[in-house]
Chains A and B, each alone.
Chain A
Amino acid sequence: DQQVKQNSPSLSVQEGRISILNCDYTNSMFDYFLWYKKYPAEGPTFLISISSIKDKNEDGRFTVFLNKSAKHLSLHIVPSQPGDSAVYFCAASEAGSARQLTFGSGTQLTVLP
């Protein structure tokens, strides 16, 4: 049973437009959510995170929104750039348990020039 789901395996967006990546979770004990970006042949790189006490966190072109009632989070990238083309993973953890991360299956974002 997947506790973190990314239902869109791929997404294509035109350069300069907004990219919206979505993630759903089922475990109500999750209290910390993260987005990682991954290029081929490299490890995941931390992008942005949000605690369950917030509903929005912004860092430059990247904004993460959390809707706890819907158990849904999204990552907005504005404006999208060709260098943003990568696989994006949503991850979640709960307090205690040494902060083990549960990952979604990833979304391949392609930003077209």
Chain B
Amino acid sequence: NAGVTQTPKFQVLKTGQSMTLQCAQDMNHNSMYWYRQDPGMGLRLIYYSASEGTTDKGEVPNGYNVSRLNKREFSLRLESAAPSQTSVYFCASTTDRFNQPQHFGDGTRLSIL
């Protein structure tokens, strides 16, 4: 049971480089989310997708773009990476059923020099 799979697990980028973080879920969930976690802080929502073909901004969307490729996959793109985007990125998914928790992947640790 894979659940939510994120790739890569680690990445180091130089300022100005671009990168796409991949996320796939095998639970047939409609909703998918991208969060970032910084030291001493909780997870903050970057973007989410309530269903295939739709995406919406969360709390901290600046500097990111997303693509809901199909029901399974939701990618996060950094077009021009900045040191402030050094963080751990988590993808999550959930069903539309009433009051169901989100299930998280193990994260991508991204460092931007």
Contacts and interface: CB of A to CB of B under 8 A. Distances in A.
Interface string B38-52: 001111110010100
Interface string B16-45: 000000000000000101010000111111
B74 interface: no
B31 A43 contact: no
B1 interface: no
Nearest to A90: B42
Contacts of B99: 32, 49, 51
A43 B106 contact: yes
A100 B33 contact: yes
A43 B101 contact: no
Interface stretch (A11-19, A58-66, A67-75, A101-109): A101-109
Interface string A2-42: 00101001000000000000000000000010101000011
A105 B42 contact: yes
Given A42-B106, A43-B106, A98-B56, A34 B101 contact: yes
B42 A99 contact: no
Contacts, number: 57
A49 B103 CA distance: 13
A100 B45 contact: yes
Contact of A98 (B31, B101, B104): B31
Interface residues of A, number: 25
Nearest to A89: B42
A68 B91 CA distance: 30
Interface in B77-112: 90, 92, 94, 99, 101-107
A106 B102 CA distance: 17
Contacts of B56: 98
A88 to B, nearest CB: 11
B42 A104 contact: yes
A9 B90 CA distance: 21
Pick the 10 closest A-B CB pairs, nearest first.
A103-B42, A43-B104, A98-B50, A46-B101, A103-B43, A43-B106, A105-B42, A44-B104, A32-B99, A104-B42
Given A101-B43, A105-B42, 10 more contacts: A42-B106, A43-B92, A43-B106, A43-B107, A46-B101, A98-B50, A98-B56, A101-B102, A102-B45, A103-B44
